Structure 1
């Protein structure tokens, strides 16, 4: 009886400990906010804007997956601009827009609304560090042409980390490089249009409870929905083993 009681106690402890362990693995390491700023209008950034780890928002409620525009963004980065050390609050709709090439460094989204980052213009973009949580659909929406590098990013509870636009007016080759990323509880890490020459290269990345690592679509024209072609490693989806985090 005593031995059975000990076993029962150990089992109960294990059951209680398990949820905590899972919660720890999927934690979102957002830094503590050093203040808050609410903008009445989208803020244009040229050069470099250091947010000092304050939380920035628009004082509005998220409208879900209703497509917004530049007027609904928190920051609009001009070609070549850098946004760093900022927290994007939940009281906004469109997050950050880039008009061309841009650098996003140590930027955190507490609760993604429509998209976290929309790359509107042509040029290469770098997302360094930072993270995003709660994206119903996309975290990074790539509409322009060029290469996006996502390095050292943490993404939790999301639809897609990256999606190359499947039906934009201008379609062409887009590339994404994902490295040193930690992903938890998502539907798709990257989505590309392989018929347009898109490529996705994923290295040194871990994913827990992410259904698809890389998925190929057939890019199409405005008003039409891109068709899913395949998922998994291929000539366009370049990755080997993606381990659990």
Structure 2
């Protein structure tokens, strides 16, 4: 597998400074697949999907702001791969609809999955996470007021203080407020059961 990053360019990592898709290593158009790649530490935004896409066996060595951001509508799939050292988020879900994540490894992350808390246009979003290994971080963050759902099954977790955080999402300019932690069906479900 080849390594890709944005070293020495405008897309290089600038800490947690919010950047747009111009700083991404890969921009995937609707229907695109990114497969068998390593994304190095010198990058700000990783991957941006503009619509339905598949990310398969992609590894992030050191996540800067976000590993991948999902926009538009339609189903998206993440199959295999892994990421580490994500002080903020690994997967940022800005568009509407479903994200399916299967067989992913995550080590040291702020949030593994987050439905956008304050996008300029808000939607109902859904994530299904299966066969997941997670070490040290919050697994899921959803906007309860928009009817988001997150389901986790077949997992191995270590040093996970909170498995799911529920928020009151909003439209910019604002910041989403935390409602509570732990599951509350149907918003946060673990193996078909409420997590308490």
Task: Return the TM-score normalized by structure 2.
Answer: 0.93
Q: Which has the larger radius of gyration?
A: 1
Question: Residue 157 of structure 2: which of 207, 217, 221 is its match?
Answer: 207
Question: Residue 120 of structure 1: which of 71, 76, 83 is its match?
Answer: 71
Structure 2 Cα separation of the partners of residues 93 and 230 of structure 1: 30
Structure 1 Cα separation of the partners of residues 22 and 127 of structure 2: 27
Aligned runs of 1:71-90 on 2, under 5 Å? 71-90=22-41
> Residue 106 of structure 1: CA displacement?
0.1
Instruction: Give the paired residue count.
Output: 189
CA offset digits 1:32-90 (Å, max 9, x no partner): xxxxxxxxxxxxxxxxxxxxx11011113421110111211100000010000000011
1:175 and 2:126 aligned: yes
Aligned runs of 1:146-165 on 2, under 5 Å? 146-165=97-116
Structure 2 Cα separation of the partners of residues 94 and 229 of structure 1: 28
User: Relative to total residues, which structure has the larger strand share, 1 or 2?
Assistant: 2
1:62 and 2:13 aligned: yes
Q: After TM superposition, which residue ranges in structure 1, 4 or more long, deviate above 4 angstroms?
A: none
5+ long unaligned stretches in structure 2 = none
> Residue 232 of structure 1: CA displacement?
1.1
Structure 2 Cα separation of the partners of residues 123 and 161 of structure 1: 21
> Residue 108 of structure 1: CA displacement?
0.2
Structure 2 counterpart of 1:223: 173
5+ long unaligned stretches in structure 1 = 1-52
Structure 1 counterpart of 2:89: 138
